[in-house]
Structure 1
Amino acid sequence: MILLREYQGKLLLLIKDTIACYDHKSDTYEEFNIPQLQPNLENRLVSSVCSSKHDDFLAVSLSNKQLIIFDKKFNVLTNTLSKRVVSKIRFTPDNDLLVADKTGDVFVYKGNNIEPKLLLGHLSMLLDIEVTDCGKYVITSDRDEKIRVSCYPNSYNIVSFCLGHREFVTNISVCGKVLVSASGDGTIRLWNYLTGEELAVANCNEYITDKSIIGNFSKEMSAESVDVDALPITDMQVYAKQDLIYVGVTVLGINGVQMYFVDVSNAVLSVKYLQTVVVSSPLLTYYLREQLIILTTNELAVLDVCSDKCNPLNSDISRLFKHCKHLLINYENLSNSFVSTLYKRKYDNVQDYLEKKKIRLENKS
């Protein structure tokens, strides 16, 4: 997985076990190798990253269960192994680190204490976790189409469930009093997370012009005993500015970023399609804030999102590509194949049972 994030006004590119840090104002570039914990730990690929509220700390998780916390100068404060493979990590406003894992549990790391405490659990793989700005609620999404809103730190008090997605919920993001979610069912949904009420929905598959991509994916998954009628959303990023929420999503099989916006000042919310930013070379990752930054195998493009169209910008940020190009050589993007594994397979055990029963009866006779 490749991740683009902003930290202390600088742009971070996280790839494999390397953090590339670029300050576009001074055109300075540094690379930091994520330290190993044990020499024999393999699969050192970045799986998630988050920063604390005031950028005092940066936390990074790897696919080998390694969990590292850095300070502002990228000095290692904590380097440990999580109990299980990590899905997502998030800081609370009080700098507690929440770790959601693929078995469905969330653990909390407080301060420099490397011994985590179990916070809450799902019966399914967790895919994302968010903490509200007030720090009172933790929101989790899982493979079983559920979004749960729990109190923090007393997470045994469940506030609500946001139910409506028909497939796994890949991403969630809190914008004030509104929760935005994206799913394998190809939809974006907005919620009042305190009540669980669905406020708006948009089907991203409606804005795919080549419908054969949906059909081909449906046939491919049908061969694996999965009924699919929509392309899943593989990633979602959200940026809120005053009363506007901008949403960028990537859809499996579509080489670009779909952009949407929501005006939350309206009494009735609706998700409005802005455009699809199509790229000519394979898309590796993207980052959405005041600008949409798209990294492909050939360039790093910067676009203005706070307008009617995502217009290309002549930004100094694009110079990052010349510095990090060597990191992209022979990189294999496996994130799309992971999304395909999240569908639940259907197995017909009845026919097998009947055949074995028939054999047993024949042997008796």
Structure 2
Amino acid sequence: MSRLGFCGEWFLSTCGKKLIAIHTKESSEPFVFDCCCAEKRPKSAKDVNGSDGDALEDPGSDSILAFAVSSSGKLMALTDDTKRLVLFHCEPSWHCVSIRWVTRRSTSLVFSQAEEELLVADKSGDVYSFSVVEPQREGELKMGHLSMLLAVTISPDDQYIITADRDEKIRVSHHKSPYNIQSYCLGHHQFVTTLQIPAEHPHWLLSGSGDGTVKLWEFESGRRLQNWDLKQLEDTLSSDATKRKNIAVFRVSSSPDGRDVAVLCVGVMKVYIFTLDQNSDEKLVPHSQLQLPHNPLDIDFDLEGRLWVLLNSREVPLQIHTLTQNSWECETENSILSRVTDILRTHWSTTDDFRSITNHFEHLYKVGFDNVSVYLQKKQQRIEEHELKRSNAQKIKCNKRPKEEPDEVLSQPSA
């Protein structure tokens, strides 16, 4: 699944097994990291012999699953399908600091604000803590959920770890003692895919879900401030989205000034733009919708507040949208965009990335079974069969002829 982001002045993109970093201000050579060529995990006796006679575990495909950037833009980390955890130092130049191994395939990463710790959430529902100061030290189990974790973030003061899982829950836990839960943000009806604490709003939390909604929370208290169902913002969605019953939000990004929020949904060829206003009764207000020429893969804001959109198209893989006079306009002529696009084309060939996003979320929807209706249907069937048997029995009884009495034997007269 292709992603994009920014590490200071560096534009980041992942496609398959490659990380591509391109400087947006300088015409320097891009940094490319290919997971196929990275250090392989040494095989242990357990890996060779298997465990308890079970089959060997799937070795993975080296595809990049998630990445994170530190708040200063000096550190970056990624994890892949082979369970690598790779830490990079980005300034003044890119170099790989360490390669470590996670227990299970990861879904989300986040650096602490102090940049001393890297939190890694995985599919089993656990969060592991990896040291940045000691880049060779193994991870330690920090906390766990009973369900698959899909997103993790940390509050700007490093006080809370916020996690979201497949069971619609958003949990706010104390960083120093994660067993101490501060609050729950409850209200989504499907799995929660993304979490975002907007800049300049350190006590607010944005969340997106498979139920097609975006919610704004005051996370310390768990109070919901705003809710928007994206299906209600327009009468008709794209043809692909109309065919599917479910619309999943898979990316929420906020601008550096915390004023604008961009939302991306699976199967919808547009970006929803909202504005955040702390002084208004409605904190999260719809602003505009950006129509896209191709299926979107990811979005993010750069340091100047421009919105970059990664598209599933080799001809037009990138777009930049700028806010001009309260209107978002697509920049058609931009030297930075042209240079980044040319470099991407040399390293990136679009495949079925959009389809992989769709499939990635499709299996997360829970299948419900209406046992009550089935029970009532079978009960009614049994009642009808019983009534039919009674009716047939009464008919047989009524049609049966009464048994005739034997004739009396007349006694002969005595002689």
Q: TM-score surpassing 0.5?
A: yes
Q: Offset of 1:77 from its aligned partner?
A: 1.5
Correspondence for 2:335 among 316, 326, 337: 316
Q: Offset of 1:284 from its aligned partner?
A: 2.9
Q: TM-score normalised to the size of structure 2? A: 0.76
Q: Offset of 1:347 from its aligned partner?
A: 5.0
How far apart in 2 are the matches of 1:305 and 1:195? Answer: 33
Any conservation in 1 of the 2:256–2:301 contact (CA below 8 Å)? no
How far apart in 2 are the matches of 1:257 and 1:303? Answer: 11
Q: Residue in 1 aligned with 2:392?
A: none
Correspondence for 2:352 among 321, 328, 332: 332
- Give the match's secondary structure for 1:59: strand
How far apart in 1 are the matches of 2:285 and 2:138? Answer: 45
Correspondence for 1:251 among 242, 257, 265: 265
Q: Relative to structure 1, is the Cα distance of residues 278 and 8 closer, same or farther in structure 2, using a 3 angstrom cutoff?
A: same
Q: Offset of 1:349 from its aligned partner?
A: 8.2
- Give the match's secondary structure for 2:361: helix
Q: Residue in 2 aligned with 1:343?
A: 365
Alpha-carbon displacement from aligned partner over 1:89-119 (angstroms, at most 9, x marks no partner): 1110232000000110000012324311111
With 302-311 and 255-264 compared, the bigger mean Cα shift is at: 302-311
Read off the aligned partner of 1:217 and give its amino acid letter.
Answer: R
Q: Offset of 1:306 from its aligned partner?
A: 6.8
Q: Offset of 1:170 from its aligned partner?
A: 0.6
- Give the match's secondary structure for 2:268: coil
How far apart in 2 are the matches of 1:215 and 1:26? Answer: 43
Q: How does 1:167-246 map onto structure 2 within 5 Å?
A: 167-175=190-198, 176-211=202-237, 215-218=242-245, 230-241=246-257, 244-246=258-260
Q: Residue in 2 aligned with 1:79?
A: 99
Give the root-mean-square deviation of aligned CA atoms: 2.4
How far apart in 1 are the matches of 2:136 and 2:61? Answer: 25
How far apart in 2 are the matches of 1:104 and 1:196? Answer: 21
Q: Residue in 1 aligned with 2:167?
A: 144
Read off the aligned partner of 1:253 and give its amino acid letter.
Answer: G
- Give the match's secondary structure for 1:261: strand
Alpha-carbon displacement from aligned partner over 1:132-186 (angstroms, at most 9, x marks no partner): 1111111001110100001112111110000011111111111311111111111
Any conservation in 2 of the 1:78–1:114 contact (CA below 8 Å)? no
Q: Relative to structure 1, is the Cα distance of residues 306 and 162 closer, same or farther in structure 2, using a 3 angstrom cutoff?
A: farther
Correspondence for 2:283 among 267, 270, 273: 270
Q: Residue in 1 aligned with 2:125?
A: 104
Count how many residue pairs are aligned between Structure 1 and Structure 2: 340
Alpha-carbon displacement from aligned partner over 1:271-311 (angstroms, at most 9, x marks no partner): 22122211213323222240111122122211114752211
Q: Residue in 1 aligned with 2:180?
A: 157
How far apart in 2 are the matches of 1:96 and 1:272? Answer: 35
Q: How does 1:274-293 map onto structure 2 within 5 Å?
A: 274-289=287-302, 290-293=305-308
Q: Offset of 1:348 from its aligned partner?
A: 7.1
Q: TM-score normalised to the size of structure 1? A: 0.86
Read off the aligned partner of 1:239 and give its amino acid letter.
Answer: S
Q: Residue in 2 aligned with 1:221?
A: none
Q: Offset of 1:65 from its aligned partner?
A: 1.3
How far apart in 1 are the matches of 2:265 and 2:243? Answer: 14
- Give the match's secondary structure for 2:364: coil
Any conservation in 2 of the 1:21–1:29 contact (CA below 8 Å)? no
Q: Residue in 2 aligned with 1:358?
A: none
With 332-341 and 276-285 compared, the bigger mean Cα shift is at: 276-285
Identical residues among aligned pairs (%): 24
How far apart in 2 are the matches of 1:339 and 1:65? Answer: 20
Q: Residue in 1 aligned with 2:38?
A: 36
Q: Relative to structure 1, is the Cα distance of residues 155 and 235 closer, same or farther in structure 2, using a 3 angstrom cutoff?
A: same
With 115-124 and 323-332 compared, the bigger mean Cα shift is at: 323-332
How far apart in 2 are the matches of 1:206 and 1:121? Answer: 35
Read off the aligned partner of 1:60 and give its amino acid letter.
Answer: L
Gaps of 5+ in 1: 219-229, 355-365
2:63 is equivalent to residue 45 of structure 1: yes
Q: Residue in 2 aligned with 1:360?
A: none
How far apart in 2 are the matches of 1:152 and 1:190? Answer: 22
Q: Per residue, is there more strand in 1 or in 2?
A: 1
Read off the aligned partner of 2:125 and give its amino acid letter.
Answer: G
- Give the match's secondary structure for 1:337: helix
Read off the aligned partner of 2:357 and give its amino acid letter.
Answer: S
- Give the match's secondary structure for 1:28: coil
Q: Offset of 1:321 from its aligned partner?
A: 0.8
Gaps of 5+ in 2: 42-57, 379-415
With 154-163 and 328-337 compared, the bigger mean Cα shift is at: 328-337
Alpha-carbon displacement from aligned partner over 1:53-73 (angstroms, at most 9, x marks no partner): 323321011122111001123
- Give the match's secondary structure for 1:265: coil
With 142-151 and 282-291 compared, the bigger mean Cα shift is at: 282-291
Read off the aligned partner of 1:318 and give its amino acid letter.
Answer: L
Any conservation in 2 of the 1:201–1:270 contact (CA below 8 Å)? no
How far apart in 1 are the matches of 2:227 and 2:99? Answer: 41
